[in-house]
Amino acid sequence: MALLHQSESRTPESPTGDVKGRNRALLLVSASTVFGLSVWFSTNAIAPALEAEKGFSAADIAWLTIAVQMGFVAGTVIIAVTNLADLIPARRLYGVAAISAGLLNLAVVPLDDFGAVIAVRFLTGMFLGGVYPPGMKILSGWFVKGRGIALGAMIGALTIGSGSPHLLRSLFADQWEVTIIGSSALSGIGGLIVWSLVKDGPHDVKGARFAPRFMLKLFTERAQRLNLLGYLGHMWELYAMWAWIGAFLFAVIGARPLIGDRLDLASAVAFAVFGAGAIASFGAGFVAERFGRTYTTAGLMIMSGSIALGIGFIPFDLEVLIVVLALVWGAAVIADSAQFSTAMTELSDPAYRGTMLTFQTGIGFALTAITIRLVPIIQESSGWGLAFAILAIGPAIGALSMLLLRRLPEARLMAGGNR
Q: Tell me how far CA of residue 359 lies from CA of 99, 301, 379, in angstroms.
A: 22, 22, 32
In a domain, 346, yes or no: yes
List per-residue pLDDT tens for the chain, 419 residues long.
Answer: 433 344 344 344 444 447 787 888 888 988 888 888 788 777 777 777 787 788 888 788 888 888 888 898 888 788 777 777 667 778 888 899 999 999 999 998 888 888 899 999 999 999 988 887 788 778 877 877 777 777 778 788 778 777 776 666 666 656 778 888 888 898 999 999 988 888 877 776 555 555 556 666 667 778 888 998 999 999 999 989 988 998 899 899 887 766 666 667 888 888 899 889 988 988 888 888 888 889 999 999 999 999 999 999 999 999 999 999 999 999 999 998 888 888 887 887 766 666 777 778 888 888 988 998 899 999 999 999 999 999 999 999 999 999 999 988 887 877 666 77
Give the C-alpha separation, 86 to 273, whole Å: 35
CB distance 227 to 405 below 8 Å? yes
> Is residue 271 a contact partner of residue 163, using CB atoms and an 8 Å limit?
yes
Write the CB contacts of 231 (distance below 8 Å, at least 6 apart in sequence): 340, 341, 360, 364, 398
CATH number reported for the structural domain that contains residue 274 in this entry: 1.20.1250.20
pTM score, two decimals? Answer: 0.74
**Rounded to an integer, what distance in angstroms lies between the CA atom of residue 130 and that of residue 132?**
6
In a domain, 74, yes or no: yes
The answer to the question of residue 2 being in a domain is no
* pLDDT score at 146: 73
For the chain, how big is the Rg over CA atoms in Å? 20
Q: What is the 3-state secondary structure (H, E, C) of 368-419?
A: HHHHHHHHHHHHHHHCHHHHHHHHHHHHHHHHHHHHHHHCCHHHHHCHHHCC
Using CA atoms, how far apart are residues 7 and 340, in angstroms rounded to an integer?
21
d(CA 236, CA 191): 28
52 burial type by CB count under 10 A (0-12 exposed, 13-18 middle, 19+ buried)? exposed
**For the chain, how many structural domains are there in total?**
1
The answer to whether residues 114 and 172 touch, using CB atoms and an 8 Å cutoff, is no
Contact (Cβ atoms closer than 8 angstroms) between residue 95 and residue 223: no
Q: Find the Cα–Cα–Cα–Cα dihedral 275, 279, 281, 284, rounded to 10°.
A: -150
pLDDT at site 63: 86
Judge whether 276 and 265 are in contact, CB under 8 Å: no
Q: Is residue 211 part of a domain?
A: no
SS3 321: helix
Q: Cα separation of 364 and 218, whole Å?
A: 13
Q: What pLDDT was estimated at residue 181? A: 87
- 3-state DSSP assignment of residue 25: helix
Domain-located, residue 7: no
Please check whether residue 75 is in contact with residue 130, taking contact to mean a CB–CB distance below 8 angstroms: yes
Q: Cα-Cα-Cα-Cα dihedral of 64, 70, 73, 77, to 10°?
A: -130
Specify if 11 maps to a domain.
no
Residue 402 in any domain: the answer is yes
- Residue 293 to residues 53, 137, 397, 398, 411, Cα–Cα distance (Å): 46, 19, 16, 13, 9
Alpha helices, H only, 11-57 = 19-36, 42-45, 47-54
DSSP-derived letter for residue 173 is T
The H or E element spanning position 272 is: helix 265-291
Residues of the domain holding 371: 22-204+220-417
Contact 304, 331 (CB under 8 A): no
Kindly provide the b/e burial profile for residues 246-270, where b requires at least 16 CB atoms within 10 angstroms of the residue's own CB: bbbbbebbeeeeeeeeeebbbbbbb
Burial status of residue 353 (CB atoms within 10 A of its CB: 0-12, 13-18, 19 or more): buried
Give the three-state DSSP class for 186. helix
| Complete DSSP assignment for 213-270 | GGGGHHHHSHHHHHHHHHHHHHHHHHHHHHHHHHHHHHHHH-S-BSSTTTSBHHHHHH
How far is 243 from 373, CA to CA, in rounded Å?
A: 10
Give the Cβ contact number of residue 141 at 10 Å.
25
Whether 10 is in a domain gets the answer no
